[in-house]
Amino acid sequence: MNDDQRYIWNGVLTMYEGFIEKNRPKIDQFIHEDCTVWDSHERNLAFGLKGLNEVRARRPQDGSGPKAERIDATEPEITIYGDMAVARHYLTVVYADAPSREIRNTGVWKKFDQGWQLVHNHEDELPLAH
């Protein structure tokens, strides 16, 4: 990996750490305010951090949802196109109280003066293995 690819991959890993830690600022530092997001549990496209926060608000807030213990991100494929990048990878979400789930993710990143930021994210939850 070159420096830009490493920065993006480390950003991805840091966002997953932030998710487990319930630390939104740790996640949001890498997300552009005008991003778009296809969330695996939502039908509609979320527009901007405002839309992403609306998606987050619809998730169980009372602790009744699945409890993610760990997120293992693997197989990064990051292609740089000038000031744009496409980052693809798999992740496995390991739950304390439910079967693990595998997700494939594609993120589109753009290089701004302050560094790379995620401008679009698309995740697909894969079927449970039988």
Q: What are 97-122's pLDDT values in tens digits?
A: 889 999 999 999 999 999 999 999 99
Domains and CATH numbers, the chain: 3-59+67-125 (3.10.450.50)
Task: Report phi then psi at 2, rounded to 5.
Answer: -90, 180
How far from the centroid of its chain's Cα atoms is residue 128's Cα? 20
pLDDT at 129: 67
Question: How would residue 127 be classed by pLDDT, with cut points 50, 70 and 90?
Answer: confident
CA dist., res. 55 & res. 129, Å (int) = 27
pLDDT at 60: 76
Note whether 53 and 108 are within 8 A (CB).
no
pLDDT at 123: 93
Would you say residue 41 has pLDDT above 90? no
pLDDT at 89: 98
